[in-house]
């Protein structure tokens, strides 16, 4: 089923339109596997698979929080549970 923009309400913003507005911006993503990712969104497709750069991955382990820095990643969209445009990650909370 295709989504259509509601012309009666010009303030309506579809999910992919919001993601498109975030290209070039920092994103805070929470994942299904209790990981959080913060990076700059370079691009995405219709399945919300994302390419991010300047990435920091936060993983909670029994030993504590593990932080991993990565230059660039391809993230599978089905693993994302929440996107926070402009979010700085769990350390900003």
The pLDDT score that the predictor gives to residue 91 is: 75
The pLDDT score that the predictor gives to residue 65 is: 92
pLDDT tens per residue, range 6-23: 555 667 888 899 899 999
Q: How far apart are CA 93 and CA 89, in angstroms?
A: 7
Q: How far apart are CA 87 and CA 29, in angstroms?
A: 8
Sign of the Cα torsion 28, 70, 46, 81 reads: negative
pLDDT tens per residue, range 11-70: 788 889 989 999 999 999 999 988 999 999 999 999 999 999 999 999 988 999 999 999
- Check residue 13 and give left, alpha or beta (phi > 0: left; psi -120 to 50: alpha): beta
Please choose, from the candidates 68, 74, 72, the residue with its C-alpha nearest in 3D space to the C-alpha of residue 36.
68
pLDDT tens per residue, range 66-83: 999 999 999 999 999 999
């Amino acid at each position: 089923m295709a989504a259509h923009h509601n012309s009666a309400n010009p303030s309506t913003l579809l999910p992919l339109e919001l993601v498109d507005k975030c290209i070039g911006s920092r994103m805070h993503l929470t994942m299904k596997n209790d990981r959080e990712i913060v990076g700059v969104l370079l691009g995405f497709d219709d399945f919300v698979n994302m390419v991010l750069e300047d990435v920091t991955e936060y993983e909670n382990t029994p030993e504590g929080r593990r932080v991993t820095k990565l230059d660039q990643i391809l993230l599978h969209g089905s693993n994302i549970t929440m996107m926070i445009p402009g979010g700085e990650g769990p350390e900003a909370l």
